[in-house]
Structure 1
Amino acid sequence: MTITVGWWAALLGLALAIALILMKLNTTYALLLGAIVGCLIGGASFSQTVDIVIKGSQSVMGTVVRVLAAGVLAGVMMESGAADTIARTIVSKFGEGLAIFSLAFATMILCAVGVFIPVAVLIVAPIAIEVGSKMKISKLAILVALSGGGKAGNIISPNPNTIAVASGFKIQPSQVMIASFIPALCGLAVAVLLATLTQHRGTVVTMADLDKGGGDAKGDKELPSIGRALVAPVVAVVLLMVNPVGSLLHIGLLQRFQVDAMYILPIASIIGLFAMKQGGHILDYTKAGLNRMVDVVLILIGAGALGGLITTSDLPQQIVRLITGMGISGSFLAPIAGILMGAASASTSTAVILGSSSFGSAILRFGVSPVAAAVTMQAGATVIDQLPHGNYFHVTAKSVNMTLGERMKVVPFEFLVGLTMTIVASLMYLVF
């Protein structure tokens, strides 16, 4: 016997989850409780509620497996010092004259090669503080550059959000990465522009902030050379791009190379590890990478459960009616869903899980291609995913020793970066 939960119950379940997150309850439990309460008040029996929650959680298992595989690359890049080497090399090559651009670009590249966005900000933050203290750059401008660059890199990376949205629309992560490249460049440009305009607004960063920040940078003596540091990400990117490039150029041999990211990311990581002559640390680095993925995986499971509630309800249909009733084309449901879910969850990964599982079918019925839906939804999820009920807000505030009031002033600028990427992606894939 099937059941349709009322849209109002799904909204109450989502609202409860958000409220519990704001009350500092563990995000996974908050999402699960929101899903359970929403099902029960919406008319589902206890056994039906269990079925809905389990079905929703099972829907994200493909994403979970790929995210765990991505943890190997994340662990290698972060623990070996490769990420630090890449960041320091970029900043030193561009010099102080292009300091703001180099900081934003370094964070973008770190995210693009598989480092989580909060960790990328933490890695670049100590370098940014050193440069900013010499150039008299404000904390506001530094975090706008770091966060904006990170958002740009996050939509073109093999990170959990890209893997999740690709899985949601049953396409390869590499397709999303390639299609998001131009929106990402536009986001980077806006981040640099905004950071440049605000470099003298607010408190100037000083070396005293370095000791109070949360930077992860390693000492120079521990870092591998730039050539060795690039091996793992380059191998990963090349292998991920083989099939999409083959499809684009109609090269049969390349098209037949259909190796999933679940294989590619660990293989590239191990190759890179031996290139850096750190093969003896493989157990430690993979364990560290797995530990970093545990929270992400648990949140994805909770998001899947809540997605199960929304999918079982008629909320997607009601939102479609609302959008079309306002005269907005239904094809824009993907970026709108990304923006709404990003604001609700304060997490890009959670947002695209909820968005794709809840609204995926409705979006595709409007004739939107899976790639266009994935790219625009992920871009939309970056617009307001930096709110205080999420971890990213607080981690990045700590990275440059900001008060909560100072951190809130960065949010509008991050909003503009995400909105730019969403508008560009929508124009490219939904309008023209």
Structure 2
Amino acid sequence: MTAIGALIGLSLSILLIIRKLSPTYSLIIGAIVGGLLGGLSLNETVTVMTEGVKEVTPAVLRILTAGVLSGILIQTGATTVISNAIINKMGEKRVFMALALATMLLCTVGVFIDVAVITVAPVALSIGKRLNLSPSVLLIAMIGGGKCGNIISPNPNTIIAAGNFNADLSAVMFANILPAVIGLFFTVFVIVRLMPQSVKNKKTMMQTEDKEEERNLPSLRTSLIAPVVTIVLLALRPAVGINIDPLIALPVGGLCGAICMKQWKNILPSIAYGLQKMSVVAILLIGTGTIAGIIKNSSLKDWILTGLDHAHMSDVLIAPISGALMSAATASTTAGATLASSSFAETILAIGISAVWGAAMINSGATVLDHLPHGSFFHATGGVCELNFKERLKLIPYESLIGIVLAAGTAILYIISN
């Protein structure tokens, strides 16, 4: 089918998302329109859409089971304990590094980036109020750290990129460790310093309490058990050749953590909470799979390859650029990584890039433009720090710079290592 049809379908999906229609339905409608305008019959369009959904089904299963780990970490208060410990340990003098590191580590252990920011934000705003720091600069520190953690985590974007390339998840996570560290320091020592840090007009910041909710929080030692067990299980394959699928490792790590934190009574509510959060992503992935099927069966990827060739760009850039373009289209790291990896995996493998590096570059590329206003991340993170639309909009160039550094870091590391 023609690239024009796929582009019109994708553009329609974006327009419908901006107009506040459900992202899943927007993607499905865009897929139908794209297929028909691209030259397929109605039956052929539906077939291509369902084939696209079939390809994301393994990732959907893994993402749903990841809800066990995520739900337990959040509902037991383990995420709060871990973030507070980092911030308290590093102190107010290193507040930006503490915030970025706390958010990074929360994402690294499998917490969604928007949830990680929401978790750390009350502590950040409390410190910001005492030090007269702008909510915008506090938020960019958290977002930067979250993006760095997101590319080395068992989060949906990493799971689905690895799955579409048939690459080992732990190896894909490991490939981006150095770029993530570089991105962390770039956020703290470059991006933060480019922004005004103090509150000049003394605007009212969100009122936060310094004390925690009146509930029994676990100790730091027991809070770390769930992520540590998960990481150890995922690391067994590259370390000793024992392959434990994320579908098993993620819930086992969460359950071990709940038992060690003596949160038996909270296991079922935590699992229900995690399933609810992951179901939103799983449903989004189904919609993403439909438009991915259309794009994969169109000549759009050939257009992109021709454009890169005419621009005299290296074939290595196909992976990060496709991740960036698809994240811009969907304003989502997960959907962007899904579209890019499902549409370009065969092409990337065919030019000689390994499955691990192809998945890693698409994953980091998907952080470049995943924060645009037609996505939920833009509004959720702005709302938690009480930024209006205009204030939140001003952060986009800084976020994009962080994403570019992450994507470039992975691409350069691949070139050096090969």
Mapping 1:74-93, distance limit 5 Å: 74-93=70-89
Q: Is the 8 A contact 2:14 2:329 kept in 1?
A: yes
Give the alignment partner of residue 347 of structure 2, picking from 347, 362, 387. Answer: 362
Q: How many residues align?
A: 415
8 A Cα contact 2:316 2:411, kept in partner: no
> Aligned-pair distance for 1:121?
0.3
**Percentage of identical aligned residues:** 40
What residue is the counterpart of 1:341 in the other structure? 326
1:100 partnered with 2:85: no
Segments of structure 1 that go 5 or more residues without pairing to the other structure are 247-253
Quick one: distance in 2 between partners of 1:426 and 1:51? Answer: 35
Q: What do the CA deviations read for 1:117-164 (whole angstroms, capped 9, x no partner)?
A: 000000000000111111121112101101000000111111111101
Task: Give the corresponding residue for 2:152.
Answer: 156
The reply to whether residue 177 of structure 1 matches residue 173 of structure 2 is yes
Cα pair distance change 1:112/1:206, threshold 3 Å: farther
Over 3 Å counting, the alpha-carbon distance change for 1:350 and 1:403 in structure 2 is same
Give the equivalent residue in structure 2 for 1:251: none
After the TM superposition, which segments of 4 or more aligned residues of structure 1 sit over 6 Å from their partners? 204-207
Contact 1:139 1:205 in 2 (8 A): no
Change (3 A) 1:203 1:357: farther
Match for residue 266 of structure 1 among 234, 237, 251: 251
Alignment partners' CA distance in 2, 1:116 and 1:99: 22
What amino acid does structure 2 have at the position aligned with 1:333? I
Question: Residues 138 and 204 of structure 1 are in contact (CA less than 8 Å); yes or no, is this contact kept in structure 2?
Answer: no
Aligned-residue Cα RMSD (Å) equals 1.6
- Secondary structure of 1:303's aligned partner: helix
Is structure 2 residue 131 aligned with structure 1 residue 146?
no
Distance change >3 Å, CA 426–CA 205, structure 1 → 2: farther
Specify whether residues 218 and 298 from structure 1 end up closer, same or farther in structure 2 by C-alpha distance, changes over 3 A only. Answer: farther
Contact 1:137 1:205 in 2 (8 A): no
1:209 matched to 2:173? The reply is no
2:129–2:205: 8 Å Cα contact kept in structure 1? no
Alignment partner, residue 405 of structure 2:
420
Task: Give the corresponding residue for 1:398.
Answer: 383
How far has the Cα of 1:200 moved from its partner?
Answer: 2.4
The yes-or-no answer on 1:223 pairing with 2:217 is yes
1:430 to 397, 415, 418: 415
Which stretch shows the higher mean deviation, 57-66 or 195-204?
A: 195-204
Q: Distance in 1 between matches of 2:87 and 2:214?
A: 14
1:225-374 alignment, distance < 5 Å: 225-244=219-238, 246=239, 254-255=240-241, 257-374=242-359
Deviation for aligned residue 1:201:
5.4
Which aligned pairs between 1:101-116 and structure 2 lie closer than 5 A?
101-116=97-112
Match of 1:10 among 2, 6, 9: 6
Who is 1:59 aligned against? 55
1:38/1:309 contact within 8 Å kept: yes
Matches within 5 A, 1:14-33: 14-33=10-29
Counterparts in 2 of 1:337 and 1:202: CA distance versus 1, 3 Å = farther
Q: Is the 8 A contact 2:96 2:141 kept in 1?
A: yes
Indicate if the aligned counterparts of 1:383 and 1:416 stay in contact, CA closer than 8 A. Answer: yes
TM-score, length of structure 2 as denominator length: 0.96
- Contact residue 133 and residue 199 of structure 2 kept, 8 A: no
SS in 1 for 2:206: helix
Asked if 2 retains the 8 angstrom alpha-carbon contact of 1:332 and 1:430, the reply is no
Task: Indicate the residue corresponding to 1:411 in structure 2.
Answer: 396
Say whether the 8 Å CA contact 1:28–1:298 is kept in structure 2: yes
Match of 1:120 among 116, 129, 132: 116
| Cα distance between partner residues in 2 of 1:101 and 1:85 | 17
Conserved in 1, the CA contact under 8 Å of 2:205 and 2:386? Answer: no
Instruction: Quote how far apart the aligned CAs of 1:218 are.
Output: 5.3
Q: Quote how far apart the aligned CAs of 1:210 are.
A: 3.0
1:352-405: per-residue Cα shift (whole Å, max 9, x none)? 100011111111111111111111111111011101000000000011110111
Contact kept in structure 2, 1:72 and 1:289, CA below 8 Å: yes
Q: Structure 2 CA distance, aligned partners of 1:203 and 1:168?
A: 48
Distance across 2 between alignment mates of 1:395 and 1:7: 33
